[in-house]
Amino acid sequence: MTRIAVIGATGTIGQAVTEALAAGGASGVVAISRRVDAASLPPGVRAAQADLTQPESLDGALANVDAVFLVWTAPPDAAPAAIERIARHARRLVLLSAPYKTPHPFFQQPNPMAALQARIEGLIEASGVAWTFLRPGMFAANAIGWWASQIRKGDVVRWPYADAATAPIDERDIAAVAERVLQDDGHAGRDYVLTGPDSLTQAEQVKIIGEVLGRDVVLEEISPEQARTELPFPPVAMNMLLGAWRAAVGLPAFLTNDVAAITGRQPHTFREWVAWNVSAFRA
Ligand SMILES: NC(=O)c1ccc[n+]([C@@H]2O[C@H](COP(=O)([O-])OP(=O)(O)OC[C@H]3O[C@@H](n4cnc5c(N)ncnc54)[C@H](OP(=O)(O)O)[C@@H]3O)[C@@H](O)[C@H]2O)c1
């Protein structure tokens, strides 16, 4: 039996991974974050509070664990000690990373997150643990944080780069891959670029949300300068996104078959993801 810990279990992806493991019958699953609440977890999953910036706090949570799924959003300087601690306990580590090595213009723009992911990957590779890196592209779930507030108020989404295409991936598909990679042999030293099944421009994604709602919602393109003043992103994130979208205009998004190859089924479409999350877009 593989005992599995999910670090970052209350976030978008960690929660989906925890749910997938529980639904798939994995036993001995531990959900870890700084503020994890046992009541919100699937039946049979144990809650353990730990903080990646306080590595000794991981010892109790990771006792007798074989495999770890790690989401890193903690400060970069905490990574060496935390990864050394994780590698002391687990023999297998699956990291949620990003496709910064993929030679598509969308993924090759200036991106401070890429430097952080590369640093964490280097620490993991040097730790001696058997590692696998998952590299999802744009999360479908970004649509909630980005567009839901405008869609709840009306039928227009003011947004830059209407024609930039991405292949939004459903968090359930990232989780389904993680579920297999955490439990099956043959994935050590491998990395997988995970995408949704379709290349869709941002305007097409907004239109699909409207169709699922039964409304005619349109993306009204604004300039990058307008985006900087109107949209609630910190400047570093805004620069990163504007650069990536600008590079993606007119190109199909990068698509892979890795979700289907690992899970044996096709990834969810963006329309299916919207239908699953439709309440987030309703007034
Ligand atoms: N958004 C995208 O399109 C996209 C695409 C590719 C890759 N990514 C990568 O995905 C990752 C973000 O995943 P996500 O959206 O699932 O993150 P998220 O929703 O922000 O969740 C972060 C999780 O980490 C926990 N956490 C944060 N600091 C912690 C600490 N010091 N110690 C222990 N736990 C801590 C949080 O819980 P507590 O607050 O309770 O501790 C939470 O459970 C990033 O690495 C990003 O680069 C994102």
Domain boundaries, the chain: 4-137+170-194, 142-167+197-254+268-281
Q: How confident is the model at residue 1 (pLDDT cuts 50, 70, 90)?
A: low
For residue 248 and ligand 1, the question of a CB distance below 6 A is answered with: no
Single-letter amino acid code for the residue at 93: L
pTM comes to 0.98
Q: What is the pLDDT of residues 98-148, one digit of tens each?
A: 999 999 999 999 898 999 999 999 999 999 999 999 999 999 999 999 999
- Cα–ligand 1 centroid distance for 38 (angstroms): 19
Q: What is the CATH number of domain 142-167+197-254+268-281?
A: 3.90.25.10
State the pLDDT at residue 222: 98
Query: What atom in ligand 1 is closest to the CA of residue 35?
Result: 40
Q: Say if residues 2 and 28 touch (Cβ distance below 8 Å).
A: yes
Percentage of the chain with pLDDT > 90?
A: 96
Q: How confident is the model at residue 27 (pLDDT cuts 50, 70, 90)?
A: confident
Percentage of the chain with pLDDT > 70?
A: 100
Domain 4-137+170-194, CATH among 3.10.20.30, 3.10.20.580, 3.30.70.2190, 3.40.50.720: 3.40.50.720
Q: Say if residues 168 and 142 touch (Cβ distance below 8 Å).
A: yes
For residue 175 and ligand 1, the question of a CB distance below 6 A is answered with: no
Give the start-end residues of each E strand in the chain: 4-7, 29-33, 46-49, 67-70, 92-96, 130-136, 156-160, 165-166, 190-194, 200-201, 218-222
> Could you tell me where the DSSP H helices lie in 34-186?
58-62, 79-89, 112-127, 142-153, 171-183
Report, as an integer, the average pLDDT of 6-10: 98
- Cα–ligand 1 centroid distance for 72 (angstroms): 6
Is 70 exceeded by the pLDDT of residue 49?
A: yes
For residue 74 and ligand 1, the question of a CB distance below 6 A is answered with: yes
For residue 102 and ligand 1, the question of a CB distance below 6 A is answered with: no
For residue 34 and ligand 1, the question of a CB distance below 6 A is answered with: yes
Residue 222 per-residue DSSP state:
E
For residue 196 and ligand 1, the question of a CB distance below 6 A is answered with: no
Tell me whether the CATH fold assigned to 4-137+170-194 matches the one assigned to 142-167+197-254+268-281.
no
Please state the φ and ψ torsions of residue 45, each to the nearest 5 degrees.
-90, 135
Contacts of 151 (CB under 8 A, 6+ apart): 157, 206, 209, 210, 213, 217, 281
The whole-chain average pLDDT of the chain stands at 97
Single-letter amino acid code for the residue at 121: E
Q: Is 6 left (phi over 0), alpha (psi -120 to 50) or beta?
A: beta
State the pLDDT at residue 131: 98
Q: Using CA atoms, how far apart are residues 38 and 45, in angstroms rounded to an integer?
A: 8
- Cα–ligand 1 centroid distance for 255 (angstroms): 24
Token pair 């000794």 in the structure block, residue: 56
Contacts of 173 (CB under 8 A, 6+ apart): 194, 196, 259, 263, 267, 268
Q: What is the pLDDT of residues 211-222, one digit of tens each?
A: 999 999 999 999
Q: How confident is the model at residue 55 (pLDDT cuts 50, 70, 90)?
A: very high
Is 70 exceeded by the pLDDT of residue 259?
A: yes
Residue 86 per-residue DSSP state:
H
State the pLDDT at residue 2: 77
